Structure 1
Amino acid sequence: MSSLHSDDQSKPCSMRNRTDILHGFQVAFFAMSRLPTFPWTFLDREIESDKSSELISDILKQTCLHPLCKKHPPTVKYRRLFLTELIKKHEAAESEPLDELYDALGDVLGTDEGTEECYKSYLLPCGDAISLLENVAVISEGTTGLVTWDAALYLAEWALDNQQLFNSRTVLELGSGMGLTGIAVCRTCGPSRYVFSDSHPSVLQRLRDNVQLNGLASQTSPSVCVEDLDWATATEEQLREIGANTVIATDVVYDPDIIGCLVKLLSKILRCSSPESPPDVFVTSTIRNPDTYNCFKHQLENMGIHYDVLTGPVSHVFPYNRVSALEMIKLYI
C-alpha cells in the first residue's frame, strides 16, 4: 500500500484551480487512463496566462517523479507518451526552461519497454493508493480477468458511498479479478471478513499477489482470504461455511455459456442462508450485449429470483468511462 496526497475526490470534473489540475493529472496518470482524457485544456489555459514552468514542474512531481511511480510505475511506453505530450505543451507555451522534464524523458528512453504487465494505481479519498499488477492486453492467457474493468471501479465507488452494507460483515465477492473492488472495501468499509474468489488459475495467482501487494494478506482485521470458487461445483455447504452477509459480483454477465451456472450459484447463496437474515446480493454489469444481459435476467426470474435496479449517482473517485452502459441490481427471493 502506498500513500498519496489526495484532495477532495468528490469535486465535479471541471478544473477550477491548479490543485484540481494537479489532482486530475495524478489520478489519470497512475490509473494509466487514455492520454486524451487528461485535463490538457485546463493546463493550456493556466500556462498561457503564466509563463513560468511551476505548474508543469508540479505535474511532473505528482506523476513521473512521485515515489509511487518509482515503486509501482506505469509502463515505460505510457510514461514516454505522457512525457512527450507534456514537453509539447511546455514548449508551445514558450515557458521557462525545465531541465528536469527532459531528464525524466531521458530516464524513460533508457529503460527496456518489453513487458506484458503493468502497475495501475487507484487513489482513495483517504489518501491511500491501491496498486495492482495487471496485464497490458485486455485478453491474455485465455481470460479477460487480468485487467480492471469499469464496472469494478463503479462498484467500488458505490461501496464507498454505502459502507454500512459492508461494515462488520462477512463479504463474498464472486469473480474478483484483479481485486480492485475488494481491496477498496477492505481499506475503507471495515468488513469483519472478506472472501475474494475466482476460478481461473492465472487470475487467482495474480489476485493473491495483488492482495499481498496491498498489505491485506498479513492483516488480522479484516480477515482476508482468496478462494478458488467454481460456480458449477460450489456446494451449499461451502457457501454456508463462508456465511456471507453481503455478496457482490462485477462484470460476471458476459458469456451466455456461463449464465446458467452463475444463476444457480446465486440461487444457492440466497436459499442456503437463514430466511430471517438473507444476504444482501448485488451484481454490477457493463451491458455490452443486451441479449446476453436480458438472458441473465430471464434466468433469474425463472429461478424465482427477483431484482431491483439501483439508480442514483455515486461519488466520483476513480477515472473510467462514465458513459458506459452500467447497471447494478439487488437480488432477493
Structure 2
Amino acid sequence: MKRISRKTIHGFNLIPFNVMEENSDSLSKSNRSSTGSRDVLVCYTLPIDGASKLYLHQRVDNRADLNDFKICNGYKIDNTGLVCRWPTEDVLAYYCLSHADIFRSKKVIELGSGYGIAGLVIAAVTEALEVVISDGNPQVVDYIQRNISANSGAFGGTLVKPMILHWDQQEISDNSNTFDVIVASDCSFFKEFHKGLARTVKFLLKSKGPSEALFFSPKRGDSLDKFLVEIEKNGLHFSITEIYDTEVWRRHQGFICCNDDWPNYEKDHCYPLLVRIAF
C-alpha cells in the first residue's frame, strides 16, 4: 500500500501535530462521531512566536464508514473531508499563517474545509474580522463546530462560525458578494463539481473593492485546467504561481529527489499550485 498510494498522513508536515487522545478507553461519548467512529483530539503547534496551539477533533482511523457513503449519496457530496487532513490543506494553512496581512480586518470564508485547520489558523493569528468555515457535508460541519468551540479562546475579536455550503445550493442570498477573501485547498479535483464551485466563488466574492480567492490545487491531469475554464466562463480572472513560498518549495524539491516518507510523490498529483482568482 505504501508503494502504490500517493496519500500520506504527514504530507508536507509544515504544521507539527500530535494526538492528545488515542486510547479508546479514554474517549468520552462526546469524542465519538455520530457514525460511531472513534475520534481523537489532535494538537497542532503553529510555527510562530509563542508556539500557539490549536486543538481539532478528528477521526482516528483515517477511514470511511458505510454511513458516510449514504450521506454522500443523499447530499450529492464527497466524503474526502472526513478521511484525513490532506497535504494541500497543510500547505494552505501554512501559507495563511505566513501571510497574515492578507486577512487582517477582512471577511473570509474557507470552502470545502474538512476539519477546518486553515480556517482556524486564519481566525487565530490574522486578526480577520470574520471567518466562516464551510463544507457541503453535514458530518464535516459537525466537526467544524466542535473545533471552533474547542478553540474559542484563541480567536480574540474575530467572529468564527461554521456553515453547511453545497456548491450547487441556491439559498445563500444573505452571503451574496460578502467576502473579501475566499480560501480553498484541493477543491478542484472532482470535475462534476467545477461548474457549481466556480459559480459559488463568483457569488460569494465581493464584486466591488479589492477581493480575491486563493485556491491551492495540484494540476491532477487536466482537472485544474478544466476548473479554470469554468472560472473564465463566469467572468472571473486568474493567475497561477508555482513558487509562492520558499519552505514549501524546498520540501517539494526534497520529495522529488527522493524521500521515503512520500512514496510515488509526483509533482502533477501532489504539489499544489497557488491560483489567485478575482473579478
TM-score normalised to structure 2 length: 0.70
What is the CA deviation profile of residues 170-203 of structure 1, one whole-angstrom value per residue up to 9, with x for unaligned ones?
Answer: 1111112101001111111111111111121110
Cα distance in 1 for residues equivalent to 2:165 and 2:233: 24
TM-superposed CA distance for 1:167, in Å, is 0.8
| Secondary structure of residue in 1 paired with 2:81 | coil
| 1:263–1:322 CA distance, 2 compared to 1 (3 A) | farther
What is the CA deviation profile of residues 31-61 of structure 1, one whole-angstrom value per residue up to 9, with x for unaligned ones?
Answer: x749xx9xxxxxxxxxxxxxxxxxxxxxxxx
TM-superposed CA distance for 1:274, in Å, is 4.0
1:301 aligned partner: 232
TM-superposed CA distance for 1:115, in Å, is 6.0
Q: Does the CA contact (< 8 Å) of 1:158 and 1:314 recur in 2? A: no
Trace 1:124-273 onto structure 2 (pairs within 5 A): 124=46, 125=48, 126-135=50-59, 136-140=61-65, 141-142=68-69, 143-146=79-82, 147-215=84-152, 221-234=157-170, 237-240=173-176, 243-270=178-205, 273=206
| 1:187–1:304 CA distance, 2 compared to 1 (3 A) | same
| 1:320–1:213 CA distance, 2 compared to 1 (3 A) | farther
| 1:327–1:222 CA distance, 2 compared to 1 (3 A) | same
User: C-alpha root-mean-square deviation of aligned residues, in Å?
Assistant: 3.1
- What code does the residue aligned with 1:132 have? L
| 1:161–1:119 CA distance, 2 compared to 1 (3 A) | same
Cα distance in 2 for residues equivalent to 1:152 and 1:120: 15
Cα distance in 1 for residues equivalent to 2:43 and 2:191: 32
- What code does the residue aligned with 2:157 have? S
- What code does the residue aligned with 2:275 have? I
1:119 matches 2:60: no
- What code does the residue aligned with 2:62 have? A
Identity of aligned residues (%): 19
Where does the alignment leave 5 or more consecutive residues of structure 1 unmatched?
Answer: 1-31, 38-62, 78-113
1:285 matches 2:217: yes
Cα distance in 2 for residues equivalent to 1:259 and 1:283: 13
Computing the radius of gyration from Cα coordinates, the structure with the larger value is 1
Cα distance in 2 for residues equivalent to 1:115 and 1:196: 23
Q: Does the CA contact (< 8 Å) of 2:85 and 2:114 recur in 1? A: yes
Q: Does the CA contact (< 8 Å) of 2:252 and 2:271 recur in 1? A: no
Cα distance in 2 for residues equivalent to 1:223 and 1:315: 30
Structure with the higher helix share, 1 or 2: 1
TM-superposed CA distance for 1:76, in Å, is 4.6
- Number of equivalenced pairs: 225
| 1:320–1:153 CA distance, 2 compared to 1 (3 A) | farther
| Secondary structure of residue in 2 paired with 1:295 | helix
| Secondary structure of residue in 1 paired with 2:161 | strand
Cα distance in 2 for residues equivalent to 1:139 and 1:115: 9
Cα distance in 2 for residues equivalent to 1:267 and 1:313: 27
Cα distance in 2 for residues equivalent to 1:329 and 1:210: 27
| 1:186–1:296 CA distance, 2 compared to 1 (3 A) | same
TM-superposed CA distance for 1:120, in Å, is 2.7
